[in-house]
Every structure is written in C-alpha cells, then in structure tokens.
C-alpha cells in the first residue's frame, strides 16, 4: 500500500523564503511533509530489492506525481519542487545504508 492509496494525501505548503537557500526551503518542506521521504524511500527500496544498482531521483518524483494524478482530479494539494530532488537523494543515501551510491548526484553549489 502506498501513501497515495487513500486518495486523501495532501502535502502541507511549507512557507518558502525568497531570501533563504534552497536547502533551507527544502528543510522546511521536509519537516512539514515527512510522508514524502517515506514514499520516496519505499519506491527506492522496491527498485533496490529488485536488483537495480543505480537510478535517478527524478524517476521517483515523476512516479509520485503520476500516482497522484491517476487517483484524483484535484492536484492543488500535491506539489513536489524539483529543486528538492538532490536533497532527497542525498538524504535517502545517508539514512538508508543499502541505498548508498544508489542515486546519481553532482556536487551542490
């Protein structure tokens, strides 16, 4: 069962600060939406368990978007900022030992 199965999953709009760094805005979003991490973790571990050695985090973001759009006509409560992808990839590889090196990343600015 995914976090989107119930059709009622909305993300909390975390306030973004135009003067803050992307990382600071990511941390606010992540704190307000811990279920995003859990769903990305579930998707990544599913692929890892099936033998995949490396993937791009963008694929998981698009999978989450697809699942949401397939289950509802109301897209107003589901926003995933692409600026946060690298931070989620790094967080997953840091917290989940089996995912170390699983995502392709570049050096952040």
Domain count, the chain: 1
Q: What pLDDT is attached to residue 39? A: 94
| 54 within domain boundaries | yes
Res. 6 pLDDT band, cuts 50 70 90: low
Q: Provide the whole-model pTM.
A: 0.83
Determine, yes or no, domain membership for 66. yes
Query: For residue 106, which of 65, 57, 69, 64 has the smallest C-alpha distance?
Result: 57
Q: Evaluate whether residue 14 is within a structural domain.
A: no
Contact 64, 85 (CB under 8 A): no
**pLDDT for 16:** 74
Q: CB neighbours of 21 closer than 8 A, spacing ≥ 6?
A: none
- 15 vs 88 pLDDT, higher one: 88
Residue span of the structural domain in which 71 resides: 22-99
Q: Is residue 85 part of a domain?
A: yes
Domain assignment of residue 12, yes or no: no
Q: Is residue 105 part of a domain?
A: no
């Amino acid at each position: 069962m995914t976090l989107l199965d119930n059709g009622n999953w909305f993300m909390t709009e975390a306030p973004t600060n135009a003067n803050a760094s992307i990382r600071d805005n990511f941390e606010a979003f992540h704190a307000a939406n811990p279920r995003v991490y859990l769903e990305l973790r579930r998707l990544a571990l599913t692929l890892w368990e099936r033998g995949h050695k490396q993937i791009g985090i963008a694929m998981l973001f698009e999978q989450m978007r697809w699942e949401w759009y397939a289950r509802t006509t109301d897209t107003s409560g589901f926003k995933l900022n692409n600026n946060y992808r690298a931070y989620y990839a790094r967080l997953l590889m840091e917290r989940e030992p089996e995912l170390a090196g699983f995502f392709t990343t570049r050096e952040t600015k």
